[in-house]
Amino acid sequence: PSMAVAQHSLHAALLPDQNVLVAGGVGAGDTAVQTAQVLDTLRNGDADPTTKEPDWITVGSMNEARMFASATPLTQGHVLFAGGSASPAKASMEVYNWPTSMFESVSVQMPDGGRAQHAAALLGDGTVLLAGGTADPAIVGGGLVAAADVFELGDRDEGSSSWSGTFHAVNGDMAYPRRLADTVTINVVDNTGASVSGFRYLVQEDTTYEMNPESPPALIDQLGLNFHKSFHPIAQNGGQGVTGTSD
């Protein structure tokens, strides 16, 4: 089945009932969206109840439009959304309340400021590690964040339908600031430096290993010894190879 709203770079999380929550991401005009949907993976077929016909269910929208955020399924079944969105990144968080199918705010914000394109991981004690990212997704190669925080979701306030939470200190930040990979742009030029248009490219993988001809190892050792991998683009225009550079 098709989604109700077209969106890409969305956030997806598996729920305890085996349904899949899809929320936020990038919509028309390359703007962040608030739309949320749940894929009912166990829906019985109309014609044959013994078969499954997954279908989309519309749920409450996110409190804030978010793209390049993190979505972490929690042990309680809820999903924590942190940061993300346009320029600059957000420091706010919100929780998808699984039993009510509603998004609810978190009363605290990330202490190191807004971040997007960061890493998030559920730890063994139920807390969430938030690390790296960028303070501004619009800055290509810049705005990198080295900060790492551990968040513990608290109690839900019935009156305000919001959640408390606590950030715990970690033993230092990341050694190097990191964010999810930027889009790679390949510019092809000819021998005179003029731009070449209308080309296609692929990334070729070169896998080699080191072997001493004087004493070749057994086959099983060759396959696992000193592997080297390199990647480089190959550009073609009209089926002819084009001499060029990439950046």
pLDDT tens per residue across all 247 residues of the chain: 677 777 788 899 999 999 999 999 988 888 888 999 999 988 776 666 667 788 888 899 999 999 999 999 999 999 999 999 777 899 999 999 999 999 999 999 999 999 999 999 999 999 999 999 999 888 776 688 999 999 999 999 999 999 999 999 888 888 888 777 544 455 666 778 777 665 554 444 444 445 556 665 554 444 444 444 444 444 444 444 444 443 3
pLDDT at 179: 78
Q: Is the dihedral of CA 177, 181, 187, 191 positive or negative?
A: positive
* Residue 239 Cα distances to 191, 201, 202, angstroms: 18, 11, 13
Q: What is the pLDDT of residue 228?
A: 44
Q: Is 98 exposed, middle or buried (0-12, 13-18, 19+ CB in 10 A)?
A: buried
Structure tokens at 7: 């969106």
pLDDT in the model for residue 170: 87
Q: Token digits for 156? A: 């839900």
pLDDT at position 196:
67
Question: Facing residues of 104 across strands?
Answer: 95
Residue 141: left (phi > 0), alpha (psi -120 to 50), or beta? left
DSSP 184: P
| pLDDT score for 213 | 60
The Cα 39–Cα 1 span in angstroms is: 9
